[in-house]
Amino acid sequence: MAVPQLLFESLEHLSKHGFVEFKWWLGKGVDFKRIPRSLLEDANQMDTVGKMMDYYGEEMAVNIAVNILKKTGRDDIAKRLINRYAAGGETAAPSRSTSVAAPPAAPVAPRAAPVAPPAAPVAPPAAPASMMAQDQSNIIAQNIAGSTIGTLNINFYK
């Protein structure tokens, strides 16, 4: 699912007052470039998503929306947006197709005890990765995975 659709569906879950408050935070621009309030004043959800895409791009628009939703106490919507964005917009909707269960398979003979595979060679260390945020932008890194060997440096510049 496309990011604009994810954002739109998230904004649709807000009450009228909640949506007005969301636009107020966008116009205030705390920790990010603000969208002029004059552009948001009469904007509906679709217009607001369009402005967010124009001003921030996909990833930053999602990050800003998540931050605003958390500030306004809508952690449930923020969490759903994060999860759907991380999953590429896929939802776990129940299947509507009907199918007939296959007949049970014939019994299978028990297997012999598994034999341990030969030891795998040790993989070379991964290349260093970097993340950068500029102009009061945010980085949301839910998971940092890697080797237990080495260091993790986090630098904050103001």
Orientation angle between helical segments 3-12 and 75-86, nearest 10 degrees: 160
| Beta-carbon-side half-sphere exposure of residue 121 (alpha carbons within 13 Å) | 3
**pTM beyond 0.95, yes or no:** no
What does the pLDDT read at residue 102?
Answer: 44
Structure confidence by residue, pLDDT tens digits, 2-22 = 999 999 999 999 999 999 999
Structure confidence by residue, pLDDT tens digits, 24-57 = 999 998 888 999 999 999 999 999 999 999 999 9
In order of their start, the domains of the chain are: 3-86 (1.10.533.10)
Q: What are 73's two structure tokens?
A: 């106490």
Q: How far apart are CA 5 and CA 11, in angstroms?
A: 10
